[in-house]
Structure 1
Amino acid sequence: MLPRPPEADRQPLPDLLHRALFKAVSLLPPRSQAVLLRRYFNWWHRSPDPWRLRTDDYEQHKYATTLRLLPARPYHRIIDVGCSEGVFTHMLATRYPDAEVTGVDVSERALDRARARPARERLTFTCADLISYTPPGAFDLVFCAETLYYLGRGERLRLASARLTELVAPGGLLTLVHPLARGRTPLHLHQRHDADSAPRRDRDPPAVLRDRPPGRARGEMTIVGPGPCP
């Protein structure tokens, strides 16, 4: 095996500072971490759509690619964890009009805007953090996009991974969509997500779908999930 070039592991300084900040926050008790994250994201959402999720080419490419790569089968209960202002959540509700769709986020400001948009009757939004969220029942399609790195590293990330897998109904699909820095493998991402509860790598090998979005030369979008049911 050829050695990996040193530049493959280099990350820009802002990314390193970003990761260090949220790693430090993850050392707090879960409730305190949730309070700080809520304040942080409410501050960001003092203006509408701070990350331009409705208009940015990368975001639109990410949404379209995610929907395109989903296995074609019925979904009855869908959840979007870390939904922000509900841009992708509304897309899901349009794509699957017969499904019960739930968007979850820690920012009430973001959810106020999500609720203000015209929506289908079976689309709801809930203000909660992933660690403490206890929905009434599991989901057969679970999304978590560009959210896990806000929860830090180590034990807190493992706890978040366990909570995500608990949301998945038997035979359901968990879809993680995150930028993947060069030099990091999809298996590494899935190992980071792996928890003691299903889906496990030894029982349900992940379907890893890689796509390089426009304008993001430093990374790739990687979707990891247990794949279609037989």
Structure 2
Amino acid sequence: MPSLPELMHRTFFRSLSLLSPRGQGMVLRRYFDWRHRIPDPWKLSTDDYEQRKYRSTLKHLPSRPYRRIIEVGCSEGVFTNALAAAYPEAEIVGVDVSERALMRARARVPDDGRVRFIRADILTHRPERLFDLAFCSETLYYLGRHERLRQASAQLSALLEPDGVLVAVHPWPEATRLHGYLDAQAALSRVTEQVYRTGPRPFAITIYETRAGRFPDQARLPD
């Protein structure tokens, strides 16, 4: 059960989704730039929960080569750095709405020509090329209400090549609702879900693959 501060946090972001997509994106950019006025505000590089989540996420990935990887909501690049080490041959793109966070991400991850960071909003981002692996971790709940979550899920689906893999990681049991919007995408097929219930902050890792011959606009809305 989320704590009272967490519930208030979620309520604030749900109210933002009453704005237009452009207005919501502008507020989110300003909010996350403000949060990143200090380095690593969520302690992603040191918190035991975050480190356990990163290790578990990498462990559950389907074993195959990945050529192009995107991380949506990369913040200061802590997990991006882990991806770069795990997949040294892959081209990796980190996306975030906060330019202040991305400045630190660029300083954290060695610039060897294959890792880059771009400021973009998942609701409107149109990549130049598609990816065979995409990550979305602890990001969807910032987008608020039904229509924005449906739109974001369609956008995530549209990032992928045929036979691409999408990995969604969110707190449990909230992940049931959030990942339900991904389940509703006709282009995606759920492969597996692993729920880590132990510890003070349970979380779920849900893995999807793109379905052959299906496209992101053929979505079924969740009940």
State whether residues 93 and 117 of structure 2, in contact with CA within 8 Å, keep that contact through their aligned partners in structure 1. yes
TM-score by length of 1: 0.85
Instruction: Kindly indicate whether the alpha-carbon contact (under 8 Å) linking 1:22 and 1:151 is maintained by their aligned counterparts in 2.
Output: yes
CA shift, 1:207, in A, is: 0.9
**1:197 Cα deviation after fit:** 4.3
- The aligned counterpart of 1:179 is 171
Which protein has greater RCO, CA pairs closer than 8 Å, 6+ apart?
1
- 1:68-217 correspondence runs (5 A): 68-119=59-110, 120-181=112-173, 186=176, 188-199=177-188, 204-212=189-197, 214=199, 216=200
Q: Is the 8 A contact 2:80 2:94 kept in 1?
A: yes
Q: Distance in 2 between matches of 1:71 and 1:44?
A: 34
Which of the numbers 28, 53, 61 marks the counterpart of 2:19? 28
Residue of structure 2 equivalent to 1:43: 34
Q: Unaligned stretches of 5+ in structure 2?
A: 212-223
Quote how far apart the aligned CAs of 1:225 are: 1.7
- The change in CA–CA distance for 1:106 and 1:185 in structure 2 (over 3 A counts) is closer
How far the C-alpha of 1:118 sits from its partner, in A, is 4.4
Whether the 8 Å CA contact 1:104–1:127 is kept in 2: the answer is yes
CA change 1:213–1:193 in 2 (3 A) is: same
Structure 1 residue 171: Cα displacement: 0.4
Aligned counterparts of 1:52 and 1:227: Cα–Cα separation in 2: 31
- CA offset at residue 87 of structure 1? 0.3
Q: Distance in 2 between matches of 1:39 and 1:79?
A: 23
Q: Distance in 2 between matches of 1:28 and 1:118?
A: 34
Aligned residues: 210
Instruction: State TM-score, norm by structure 2.
Output: 0.88
Q: Percent identity at matched positions?
A: 53
| Residues 1:105 and 1:228: Cα distance change in structure 2 (over 3 Å) | closer
Instruction: Assess, with a 3 A threshold, how the Cα gap between structure 1 residues 66 and 228 changes in structure 2: closer, same or farther.
Output: farther
Letter in 2 for 1:18: H
Structure 2 Cα separation of the partners of residues 138 and 46 of structure 1: 32
Shift of 1:189: 4.2
Aligned residue number for residue 203 of structure 2: 221
1:226 is paired with a residue whose SS is: strand
